[in-house]
Chains A and B, each alone.
Chain A
Amino acid sequence: MELTRDEEKGLDGKYGEALASSYRILVAIGEATGAKRLVPVKWAHISGVNYNTIGDGGMQFLEKFSNSAKVAVRTTINPMGYDKTKPEGIPPSFQERQQSIATSYERMGTTPSFTCTPYEVFDLPQKGTAVSFAESNAAVFSNSLLGLMTNKESALSALASSVTGKAALSDLRLEDARSPKVAVETDFDFTNELDYGVLGYFTGKAVKDSCVSLDNIARLDTMQAKALCAGIGTSGSCGMFTFGGKVKEKISFGKKEAQSVMHELSTADDGDIITLGSPQLGMNELELLAKITESKKFTRRCMVFCSRAIYTEAIKVGLAGKIQKSGAEFRCDSCTCLTPYVTKDRYDAAITNSVKGAYYLSKSNNVKVSLKDIRTIAEEYTQ
């Protein structure tokens, strides 16, 4: 891999340890993905914000790193573990450590977005722009539906991109890799967002390539697209899909495959809390939720996760109030995955429409999950 003289200096430590380790990360990724050089990026989106994901090790690393590191490009960050304005039930030790992480990111100059759906919150660059997105649903969404170019970055590689303004020119940042060689051929009657989440989870698991064609898929609405992208991002290394393409290999997805995913991820028939989000809900989804719960009350505790920006917008247009009338509680700056709001001590099982949420609730929070689509949830658990 060829570096410019300035990049070599950075790697050699001439600009400090933070940049040296960042270039070391980018070079290793360049080697792994066969990059010939680095390329400037316009936007980095960093994961590894929630204390429950990066732990004490990550917290201490960021404290040190942020002493000298400064963002070189617009940098947005993923959700943290909880909503500062709703600290009930969150251990003080968690809050302290979470605040330390938030402070470190702030010191670096990142935008405190705390969102996993930056594509719904921020102005989008032109198609074909190179970015560096670590949040997997955002990487898949941006590559597939917005024409941005990113690899499925790791928390550390997006962090390295943030402070260097560079990323490896390889894989999905090159046109070649964006033409799929493998397709998932669907023969399935998709009726709701959960079906698309299941397809995504199956696809991520079955496809090793960076790009896949999804055959026989009609247009997707935003909620379905988000569920699909989150599913693909959760189970594998695939970072992009197209609607069709000339391919060499086909994999079938039908009823049997969908059932097998549901069998793996839906481990309970019922639950004692509803969590909506993962990805965080956008305005479209909040509108739908308000509509299907109108004049009804939830019979279970229901947490709605969204970004602070979307919540503020929802208050402005009167949507937040409508949803709160149903008894649902908003949680901003955080999301279903690895949140300390939903723990094994408090809940036996959670009800969600998110395949990604289901995966992490059961694997990381040890909470069982009942997977249902949002309309079914609103019908079964409101009166």
Chain B
Amino acid sequence: MIISNCRRIVGGTGEGKTLMTIQPINFLAMVDAKTGTVTDPSHELYGESLKSSVLILPYAIGSSVGAYVIYSLKEYGNAPNAVVCSKADITTASGCALTNIPVVDLPDGTSLPSLKHGLKARVEADAGRIIVGFSP
């Protein structure tokens, strides 16, 4: 599946397995940068690692310090390889811009679940394109 017409928020290309959630993420309260895992039992990605993934989420919420958690994820080698938002937010954009993690957000009318969880995907931010489920 190819999704075109995405908006480039931070340029670049990244590949990985899709980690899809329809729940927003509070990076400060829910993610441990040292392990790269989601630590909030009430979140549907609880226990999952963000490392080398294509993280697909609606947007980030909560503390403004979440941007530093994205920076620390990168420093510890636990960052996603690319991020897809339904509507990119300031925390995600700033954290990923500093660390050069490609970010796009989805064109109107594309639902997050249509991207599916656990598939190989490539985000080509400069072309505004996501390729999901390709054979490497």
Chain B neighbourhood of A135, CB < 8 A: 64
Chain A neighbourhood of B29, CB < 8 A: 359-360, 363-364
Chain A neighbourhood of B30, CB < 8 A: 363
Bits for B1-32, please: 1 = Cβ < 8 Å to A, else 0.
Answer: 00000011110000000000000101011100
Chain B neighbourhood of A21, CB < 8 A: 97-98
Q: How close is B109's CB to chain A, nearest CB, in angstroms?
A: 16
Bits for B57-101, please: 1 = Cβ < 8 Å to A, else 0.
Answer: 001111111111001100110000000000111111111111000
Q: How far is the CA of A360 from the CA of B62 in the complex (A)?
A: 10
Chain B neighbourhood of A155, CB < 8 A: 64-68, 94
Contact B90 A154, beta carbon cutoff 8 Å: yes
A38 beta carbon closer than 8 Å to chain B: no
Q: How far is the CA of A148 from the CA of B72 in the complex (A)?
A: 32
Q: Which residue of B lies closest to A160 (CB)?
A: B94
Bits for A286-311, please: 1 = Cβ < 8 Å to B, else 0.
Answer: 00000000000000000000000000
Contact B67 A55, beta carbon cutoff 8 Å: no
B interface, size bucket: 35 or more
Q: How far is the CA of A47 from the CA of B65 in the complex (A)?
A: 6
Q: Which residue of B lies closest to A171 (CB)?
A: B90
Contact A55 B90, beta carbon cutoff 8 Å: no
Per the CB 8 Å criterion, the residue count for chain A at the interface is: 41
A31-B93, A154-B90 are known contacts. Are A48 and B68 too (CB-CB below 8 A)? yes
Residues in A lying within 8 Å of B, measured CB to CB:
21, 24-25, 27-29, 31-33, 47-48, 53-58, 60-61, 134-136, 151-158, 160, 204, 208, 234-237, 359-360, 363-364
Q: List 8 other contacts, CB 8 Å, given A21-B97, A236-B61.
A: A31-B9, A48-B65, A48-B68, A55-B33, A55-B68, A57-B76, A134-B64, A135-B64
Residues in B lying within 8 Å of A, measured CB to CB:
7-10, 24, 26, 28-30, 33-34, 40, 59-68, 71-72, 75-76, 87-98, 103, 105
